[in-house]
């Protein structure tokens, strides 16, 4: 068997959310910046994304991270998040997976007790600090990009739930943040399918009622995810981010936690130095900290730090063949949900 054309992936998960990392074999992506490269994938050639994120090589509950050489001198590596709907500029859980993969594979040298990794992403430079011992990453703290609230308590008309209030915030991508009690659903594993379908339905209603455009990042002009949230008795924020075509994030969601931190900051509920725990639908936890403040395009912004842990659990080679009848991948509604219709168009 000819394996000259193959991809080498590390299998990694962060608090249960799979974020595989392409370590070798990927084609060169054109673009002078990481944002250019992401936009090339989304608007010119998305064949690699489809190959690694759809069946028969993938499943609905996962992402794949494309490692690329950095385009800026102050970065050690670059990566782009590939998901079923498109390439995205940033993801906290995937970033933690990438840092863990780089260090535990030996791709980058590991220093104990701490290794600093600077990552070039389409959203900007991410500085990660990995706590390391005995060749393992015990935790990774990400200094995320400036996060800001775009709108608070925006009203959205829905056929199913009536008029609901939505916060819109940027935490590396744009989020619509919705208090789950407005839908009459608890964030619990038994409600995962109902939450996924509700999130995708809400996302489909947003373009006609709310518009976004990042003041600096060209092409970042859509609400990527709907995140349901609620406060726990111990002060933690219970999170449930919903993703295309209809699933929920298994992790507490790093960029979503950053976006939520931005809404708390905008309301005066969080100040620099404050911390909030984010807890996922299955109980995984990220620590979100406000480590500074800045401004983005005239908007007050908070500088978030997200801390969590990822685990390398295997290695996976993917053979690329010209006669593969499913090189573009496929998805079926039996496992991907009814929203899969149109995703492959």
Q: CA nearest 172: which of 126, 130, 131?
A: 126
269 and 249 Cβ atoms separated by less than 8 Å:
no
Q: Give the three-state DSSP class for 35.
A: helix
Tokens of 33: 């910046």
Q: Name 19's bridge partners.
A: 63
- The residues annotated with a catalytic role in the active site are 91, 253
The residues, ordered by sequence, that sit 6+ positions from 163 with a Cβ below 8 Å of its Cβ are 155, 156, 157
Assign residue 124 a region: left if phi > 0, alpha if psi is -120 to 50, beta otherwise?
A: left
The residues, ordered by sequence, that sit 6+ positions from 87 with a Cβ below 8 Å of its Cβ are 38, 41, 42, 46, 49, 66, 80, 81, 122
For 294-339, the DSSP string reads EEETTEEEEEEEEEE-EEEEEEEEEE--TT-TTTT-B--HHHH-GG
Torsion angle of C-alpha atoms 212, 247, 14, 178, degrees rounded to 10: 50
How many whole angstroms separate alpha carbon 79 and alpha carbon 29? 11
Rg (CA), the chain: 19
How many whole angstroms separate alpha carbon 164 and alpha carbon 298? 27
250 and 282 Cβ atoms separated by less than 8 Å:
yes
The number of angstroms, rounded, from the C-alpha of 181 to the middle of its chain's C-alpha atoms is 24
Alpha helices by DSSP H, listed for 18-148, are 34-43, 47-53, 92-104
How many whole angstroms separate alpha carbon 15 and alpha carbon 33? 30
């Amino acid at each position: 068997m000819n394996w000259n054309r193959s991809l080498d992936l590390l299998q990694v998960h962060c608090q249960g959310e799979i974020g595989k990392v392409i370590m070798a074999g990927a084609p060169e992506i054109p673009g002078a910046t990481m944002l250019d490269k992401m936009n090339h994938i989304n608007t010119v050639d998305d064949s690699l994304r489809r190959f690694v994120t759809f069946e028969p090589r993938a499943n609905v509950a996962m992402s794949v991270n494309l490692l690329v050489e950095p385009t800026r001198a102050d970065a050690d590596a670059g990566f782009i998040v590939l998901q079923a709907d498109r390439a995205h500029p940033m993801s906290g859980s995937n970033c933690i997976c990438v840092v863990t993969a780089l260090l535990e594979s030996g791709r980058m040298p590991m220093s104990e007790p701490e290794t600093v990794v600077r990552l070039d992403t389409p959203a900007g430079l991410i500085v990660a600090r990995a706590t390391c011992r005995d060749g393992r990453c015990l935790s990774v703290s990400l200094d995320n990009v400036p996060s800001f609230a775009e709108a608070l308590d925006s009203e959205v008309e829905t056929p199913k739930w009536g008029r609901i209030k939505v916060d819109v915030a940027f935490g590396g991508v744009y989020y619509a943040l919705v208090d789950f009690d407005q839908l009459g659903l608890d964030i619990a594993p038994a409600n995962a399918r109902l939450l996924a379908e509700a999130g995708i339905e809400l996302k489909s209603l947003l373009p006609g009622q709310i518009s976004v455009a990042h003041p600096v990042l060209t092409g970042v002009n859509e609400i990527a995810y709907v995140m349901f949230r609620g406060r726990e008795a111990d002060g933690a924020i219970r999170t449930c981010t919903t993703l295309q075509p209809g699933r929920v994030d298994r992790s507490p969601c790093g960029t979503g936690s950053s976006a939520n931190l931005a809404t708390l900051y905008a309301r005066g509920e969080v100040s620099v130095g404050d911390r909030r725990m984010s807890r996922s639908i299955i109980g995984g936890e990220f620590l979100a900290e406000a480590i500074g403040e800045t401004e983005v395009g005239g908007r007050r912004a908070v500088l978030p730090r997200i801390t969590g842990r990822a685990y390398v659990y295997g290695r996976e080679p993917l053979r690329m063949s010209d006669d593969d009848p499913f090189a573009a991948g496929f998805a079926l509604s039996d496992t991907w949900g009814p929203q899969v219709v149109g995703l492959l168009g």
